Structure 1
Amino acid sequence: MSQGRNPTARPTLPGVAEGGCTAFDLLSTLIAVVAVDGTVRCANAALEDALGVSRKQILGAHLPDSFSHPDQLRSMLQAAGGFAALRFDALLSRPGRDSLPVHVLLTRTDRETVIVEMLPLEMQARQEREDRLTEQTRANREMFRNLAHEVKNPLGGIRGAAQLLDMELASPELQEYTRVIIHEADRLQSLVDKLLAPHRHPHTVSDVNIHEVCERVRTLILAEFPRGLTVVRDYDTSLPEFRGDREHLIQAVLNIARNACLALEERLASADARIVFRTRVARQTTIGRQRYRLALELRVIDNGPGVPEAIRDRIFYPLVSGREGGSGLGLTLAQTFVQQHFGTIEFESIPGCTDFRILIPLP
């Protein structure tokens, strides 16, 4: 960034401290407060992180020079006084890194100052995806409750009638039909119970060590898949404990890990199946449009064939499964349990590497 024409100018906005924007530092959006000539008067921590330069280098510099097309921002700054806000898409240049596509919003605060907000388009897409997922979870919750009411009572009646009929029939061939009815009624009852599981049991909060959760899951999957599977532990032992529901988190991680094992069928047969549990601290992370200073990051990585392209956009929806005979509930329940901790689950998948990433805010 080149030096602007008024490097000694100082911000006058409330909450703006000398050399930085204390109030804006809490936001995930990249923010600069600039003079109408483009001189940066203050910048928040998110902009500092995105550019990869210190705040001292940003202050007093000429913001339009950080854009691929600086004249566009210059003209917008001059025009900002006549409009409540101006918006446009642009490329933010970053020293030694790829340009960052951003959606820019300009808001005039007074005759001399403009707030420039820059929302990375990839972040915008992620936030929209999280919003859709949160809304889908709410819809699922309501659907499951309605399902319980509409299905459980008649299902119990069907099963009871089949049992009574079974006792009256003398022919083993005819009894076979009633037993099919009883078996299918039990299967549907089990399915409804699984759908309702996260909404029926109370949320029990205690101190949780994420590595104890991982070790419990590791023991369970090695007991179920004793041959051909290697589980790698890559832990950051500095991670603090946090308040949460230990059993729900075990179930969430187990569902992800078990799905991975089932997808590793061919590699299990050739004894080169591999799952990695990796824990790290994520800093300045945005979850559900809220920025957190610290978050727990748990990755479950496998070397399987990858998530089928046809279901990637719907993988957390109930009853969606990439495996024949699968219930399609494992990831739905995992996402629900993690959202109960104000977190989220994301994933990336290519053949040979599927990476599920659990993020949970830390105090």
Structure 2
Amino acid sequence: MNAAAVGQPGATEYPGLEWLASMAALVDAEGAIEYANPALENGLGVSRRLLNGQNLSHWMDCPALWQESLLQVRSNEFSSKRFDCMMRLRDLREAVQVQLIVARTDHPQGLLLAEVVEISQQSRLEREEQWHNQAQANKELIRNLAHEIKNPLGGLRGAAQLLHAELPSAELQEYTQVIIAEADRLQTLVDRLLAPHRKPHVVGDVNIHEVCEHVRTLLQAEFPQGLTIEQDYDASLPEFRGDKEQLIQAVLNIAHNAAQALQQRIVQGDASIVFRTRVARQMTLARQRYKLALVLHIVDNGPGVPAELKDRIFFPLISGREGGSGLGLTLAQTFVQQHQGTIECDSQPGHTEFRITLPLP
């Protein structure tokens, strides 16, 4: 990359790198950081001020390969060099695999460009695209199916009512009452399926912590004993424009599912749900790039999502709980996507984490 094209020598910012989705830095001949873009700052969890002067190899498990690549590019043996490496990134207990690219620039001080691409990031973007397409298909399927069910259902219920009035004995009327009750139950299900597409999007100023606190109050009222709900909030997060009621419902659906999955631990008295908010920089959401985003982590210590459901938990009518409607997570995903956000889930026994990411102004 031409460094002169992205900033003047000695400038504190390089606009072309500021908006780069991948983590990037300008480093000297030994690998010490002279400039770090916001994606690298966010990825490492260290402010740019503190990154300045530190060697990027501090976060790698392959410092020799890093130094070799710097030498080869610096000596013009290669115009650029790329290699795979393991790096320790923010909030991750284990190092993740990345691809490092070292390239020459025409910076007057001879700085080199180092770009870090998290290999799992590409998988995440592909998964997000797949979920988005699946959600759109689900939405069309639900709307069409609901309308197809609703029309004959009304006729079925009306006919049952007329038949009920004509039947001479209470014993026979019990059968029509069953038909009417089941028709009403199906009507309620259809209404729930159509609800997200019927209600208008009521936009106002939303504080994500007010949303979390509202949900926390509801959960503590329902589960007063045996369940601890922890708050780990980033107070610097600003308000944003959105539909507060939809977001409350989305967070409640996720947290309530978690609480129900924690029944055994609630009996034991060690059930835990954590609401954690963080700010993220340079995020791609719904195929659009945002400078800032908020991330809400909803974490529980339950048994985890069954392996056979992990890839289908956001599908409609899929439930891992007996008697569940399978609509809670589908509706949560719909509401989050209506805010141009994403929702993801990582789960293993003892640790299930849902992440809601929403763009910030």
Give the one of 73, 85, 93 matched to 1:91: 85
2:339 aligns with one of 326, 338, 341? 341
Which residue does the alignment assign to 2:268?
A: 270
Superposed CA deviations along residues 302-360 of structure 1, whole A, max 9, x for unmatched, are 22211111111111111111101111110111111112222212222222222222221
Query: What amino acid is aligned across from residue 236 of structure 1 in structure 2?
Result: D
Q: Secondary structure in 2 aligned to 1:204?
A: coil
- The residue number in structure 1 matching 2:200 is 202
SS in structure 2 of the partner of residue 313 of structure 1: coil
Q: Using the alignment, how far apart are the partners of 2:64 and 2:290 within structure 1?
A: 27
Q: Which amino acid aligns with 2:324?
A: G
Whether 2:39 is the aligned partner of 1:46: answer: yes
What SS does structure 2 have at the residue aligned with 1:23?
helix
Q: Distance in 2 between matches of 1:324 and 1:206?
A: 37
Matching residue of 2:291: 293
Q: How does 1:159-308 map to 2 (within 5 A)?
A: 159-308=157-306
Q: Is the 8 A contact 2:87 2:98 kept in 1?
A: no
Q: What is the RMSD of the two structures over their aligned residues, measured on CA atoms?
A: 4.0
Q: What letter matches 1:239 in structure 2? A: L
Indicate the residue corresponding to 2:22 in structure 1: 29
Distance 1:99 1:354, change over 3 A: closer
Q: Which runs of 5+ in 1 are unaligned?
A: 1-8, 35-39, 81-85
Q: CA deviation at 1:79?
A: 8.7
Matched residues, percent identical? Answer: 58
Counterparts in 2 of 1:78 and 1:153: CA distance versus 1, 3 Å: farther
Q: CA deviation at 1:184?
A: 1.7
**Map of 2:59 onto structure 1:** none
Partner SS state of residue 310, structure 2: helix
The offset of 1:122, in angstroms, is 0.6
**Deviations 1:265-302 (Å, cap 9, x if unpaired)?**
11222333222222233344443454433322222222
The one-letter code matched in structure 1 to 2:9 is E
Distance in 2 between residues matched to 1:109 and 1:68, nearest whole Å: 17
| 8 Å contact kept, 2:254–2:329 | yes
Does residue 359 of the first structure (1) align with residue 357 of the second (2)?
yes
Q: 1:107 to 1:128 in 2, by over 3 A?
A: farther
The answer to whether the 8 A contact 2:85-2:100 is kept is: no
Deviates more, 1:234-243 or 1:178-187: 234-243
**1:70 Cα deviation from its structure 2 partner:** 5.8
Check 1:93–1:178 CA distance in 2 against 1; reply closer, same or farther (3 A cut): closer
CA distance in 2, matches of 1:74, 1:257: 52
- Displacement of 1:104 in angstroms is 7.3
CA separation of 1:270/1:31 partners in 2, compared to 1, >3 Å: closer, same or farther? Answer: closer
* Residue 97 of structure 2: aligned partner: 101
Whether the 8 Å CA contact 2:226–2:268 is kept in 1: the answer is yes
Q: 1:5-16 maps to which residues of 2 (within 5 A)? A: 11-13=3-5, 15-16=6-7
Q: CA deviation at 1:213?
A: 1.3
Q: Any residues of structure 2 matched to 1:96-135 within 5 Å, and which?
A: 101-102=97-98, 119-135=117-133
Q: What TM-score comes out, normalization by structure 1 length?
A: 0.77
Does structure 2 conserve the Cα–Cα contact (< 8 Å) formed by 1:66 and 1:93? no
Distance 1:44 1:222, change over 3 A: closer
Give the alignment's TM-score, normalised by structure 2: 0.78
Report if aligned partners of 1:227, 1:268 keep a CA contact under 8 Å in 2: yes
CA shift digits 1:22-76 (9 cap, x unpaired)? 1232121245799xxxxx99874435665778466789xxxx98856967x969x
Structure-2 separation of matches of 1:152 and 1:307: 32
When residues 176 and 78 of structure 1 are mapped into structure 2, their CA distance, relative to the original with a 3 A threshold, is: farther
Number of residue equivalences: 340
Q: Kindly report which structure 2 residues correspond to 1:133-148, keeping only aligned pairs within 5 A, or say none.
A: 133-148=131-146
Distance 1:43 1:277, change over 3 A: closer
Distance in 1 separating the partners of 2:64 and 2:40: 12
Q: Distance in 1 between matches of 2:209 and 2:176?
A: 48
Structure 2 Cα separation of the partners of residues 192 and 26 of structure 1: 44
- Aligned AA for 1:101? Q
CA 1:105–1:281 in structure 2 vs 1: closer, same or farther (change >3 Å)? closer
Q: Distance in 1 between matches of 2:26 and 2:226?
A: 57
- The answer to whether the Cα contact below 8 Å between 1:279 and 1:298 also exists between their aligned partners in 2 is yes
Corresponding residue SS for 1:319: coil
1:148 Cα deviation after fit: 2.7
